[in-house]
Chain A
Amino acid sequence: MGMTMAEKILARHSGKEEVRAGEFVTADVDRVMVHEMLAFMIEIYERHNIPKKVWDPDRVVMLMDHYVPAPTVDAAEMHRKMREFARETGLKINLDGKEGICHQIMPELGYVKPGDLILGTDSHTTTYGAFGAASTGIGATEMIAVFATGKLWFRVPETIKFEIEGSLQERVGSKDVILDIAGTFGSDVAQYRSVEFHGSAVEEMSISSRMVLSNMSVEIGAKFGIIPPDKKTIEFVESVTDEPFTPVYPDDDAIYEAIHELSADELEPKVALPHSVDNVKSVGEVSGIKIDQGFIGSCTNGRLEDLEIAAEILEGNEVHRDVRLIISPASRRVYRSALEKGLIDIFLDAKAIVCNPTCGPCWGGHLGLLGKGERCISSSNRNFKGRMGHEESEIYLASPATVAASCIRGEITDPRYV
């Protein structure tokens, strides 16, 4: 009997020929990513008197992105302790806060390969599924166990398959696809499950667009959000790493818990209303809602193609006088490419505020927090109550195109008609 992507990758990493959904396995991980959660891990190490130890210093990527550059003394102290930990344990890969947001720079710098099993101390670690890897988030204590042993237990998940056929309209993107899925199926449809994205619309998508699907898989509860690798994937990965890899593909007779077919052709731009990601409407149903702030950035939609479409819409326009638009490229590389292509000039001409690559605004850590009753339209992935600032502020999630169009008009706006 055939296996899904999740089954194959977990079988390979637990030294088995075959595993089935429902089984428990202990698997060896290829790579782990830790960001500022490491500071909390260090507190646990010290409070519980656990020796600080890393099973393989080559396999851990340490970075800072949630508070970059440090906005408070407490954050600076976190970073200082992290650097000290890296020195003490001899970590080979310490990116500090210099490269950008974790889920952008892990693949960009060649730490993600098809067929890998990767863990991170961040829920959106599912992003690496776009490269045919099985990757997911875990907490601090489990990461301490992985640091010690290089292994972790997994329940082999059932898999839900989304077949997305057809072609997206102009200015409709993969963000609209995943918001539509969240709205239609709910924020817990894939709880404890792996999802696979297939179909001609996914094949047509750029690597960056695919990352949005995998990134937001966790918003429908998924443990993995995997896209089978193709030529585009392999070419990308070969362009960023010399390390060998063996891609994995699902078998034709793999068993799926459910298969959902969707058409991309007629899909409209979507918006998730406060305060949950599955509270989704078509942009036409909510256009006219006044906004105070826009945000383009994050590990969901802060890549070059996102900045390009925003620039295309903003060029020759100005951000509405009652609105501020914050733009944060997802990485140093993205920032440089945007600069070279003249996008930053367009943003500055439009009176947008361009910040360094950081998680800050996305999760209300620092930069661009919202005041009481304010509304923000954001290209990020979560609109939980109070996430970007005041308890009584509101977050609307949308594609970068919709954010840009809305910031020009000062109200939620369909990007196809700007």
Chain B
Amino acid sequence: MKVIRGRVWKFGDNIDTDLIAPGKYLGLPYEKLLEHILEPANPEFPSKVKEGDIIIAGKNFGCGSSREQAPRGLKDLGVGAIVAESFARIFFRNCIGIGLPAVTCSGVAGNFQDGDEAELDLRTGILKNLTTGKSFQTSKLPDMMLEILETGGILEMLKKGTF
């Protein structure tokens, strides 16, 4: 499993799916929705986020509706991983299902600033803040979930007949 490295986008607690994929844009074609992902929480996000960037957030990230446009939008804009103090259940499942790494790490929000560089090794669960030089141990995902992530998500597994 590859190591993910990128700029940190930092968010607080209770970032809900209406902030990630605002309801008023859900009726638009998906490509248009992508231009508004996380916009209410940080207007720069959709235009500036780059491949491999890492979201660091507080508690209950992704709470709210089951709309998969939220995690998919993040993934399709390039987000490489999300590390949060905790996730809402459906959002977490959606992440794993689509092959977007999501791990928890207690106290993570207090140790990163917006714009820091971070690196996450999913196999060991080690998260590094390259800007401050500090390291953190994130939760280890069960093998079943690592397998889904490694294959690239449930759709890839379905195609291979391994789900």
Partners in one complex: yes
A interface residue numbers (CB < 8 A to B): 24, 37, 40, 43-44, 48-50, 67, 71-72, 74-75, 78, 120-123, 125, 136-142, 144-145, 148-149, 153, 187-188, 191-192, 221, 223, 276, 363-365, 382, 384-387, 389, 391
The verdict on B46 contacting chain A, using a C-beta distance below 8 Å, is no
Given A72-B27, A74-B29, A364-B24; A142-B93 close (CB under 8 Å): yes
Inter-subunit contact A144/B23 (CB<8 Å):
no
Specify the chain B residue showing the minimal Cβ separation from A120.
Answer: B66
Distance in angstroms from B67 CB to nearest chain A CB is 7
Distance in angstroms from A374 CB to nearest chain B CB is 15
**Residues on the B chain within 8 Å of A365, using CB:** 23, 26-27
- In angstroms, Cα B163 to Cα A363, docked, is 34
Specify the chain B residue showing the minimal Cβ separation from A142.
Answer: B97
Inter-subunit contact A382/B40 (CB<8 Å):
no
**Residues on the A chain within 8 Å of B88, using CB:** 188, 191, 221
Inter-subunit contact A149/B14 (CB<8 Å):
no
Contact partner of A139 among B22, B97, B158, CB < 8 A?
B97
The verdict on B138 contacting chain A, using a C-beta distance below 8 Å, is no
The verdict on B64 contacting chain A, using a C-beta distance below 8 Å, is yes
- In angstroms, Cα B13 to Cα A357, docked, is 34
**Residues on the A chain within 8 Å of B97, using CB:** 139, 141-142, 145
Distance in angstroms from A162 CB to nearest chain B CB is 18
Residue contacts A-B, CB under 8 angstroms, 12 given: A49-B159, A138-B93, A139-B68, A139-B98, A140-B68, A141-B98, A142-B93, A142-B97, A187-B63, A188-B59, A188-B88, A386-B22
**Residues on the B chain within 8 Å of A188, using CB:** 59-60, 63, 86, 88
Given A50-B158, A74-B28; A138-B90 close (CB under 8 Å): yes
Distance in angstroms from B24 CB to nearest chain A CB is 6
- In angstroms, Cα B26 to Cα A75, docked, is 10
**Residues on the B chain within 8 Å of A391, using CB:** 40
Specify the chain A residue showing the minimal Cβ separation from B157.
Answer: A145
Contact partner of B154 among A125, A145, A223, CB < 8 A?
A145
- In angstroms, Cα B157 to Cα A331, docked, is 39
Q: How many residues belonging to B are interface residues under a CB distance threshold of 8 Å?
A: 40
B interface residue numbers (CB < 8 A to A): 14, 16, 18-19, 22-24, 26-30, 40, 59-60, 63-69, 71-72, 86, 88-90, 93-94, 97-98, 142, 144, 153-155, 158-159, 163
Given A24-B142, A139-B66, A142-B97; A386-B90 close (CB under 8 Å): no
Inter-subunit contact A386/B40 (CB<8 Å):
yes
**Residues on the B chain within 8 Å of A136, using CB:** 89-90
- In angstroms, Cα B14 to Cα A187, docked, is 9
Inter-subunit contact B144/A141 (CB<8 Å):
no
Inter-subunit contact B66/A387 (CB<8 Å):
no
Across the A-B interface, give the 5 residue pairs with the lowest CB-CB distance, nearest first: A139-B68, A139-B94, A137-B66, A140-B68, A384-B18
- In angstroms, Cα B94 to Cα A136, docked, is 13
Specify the chain B residue showing the minimal Cβ separation from A49.
Answer: B159
Inter-subunit contact B60/A144 (CB<8 Å):
no
Inter-subunit contact A144/B89 (CB<8 Å):
no
Inter-subunit contact A221/B29 (CB<8 Å):
no
Contact partner of B155 among A37, A40, A43, A141, CB < 8 A?
A141
Specify the chain B residue showing the minimal Cβ separation from A157.
Answer: B89
Given A50-B155, A191-B86, A363-B23; A221-B63 close (CB under 8 Å): yes
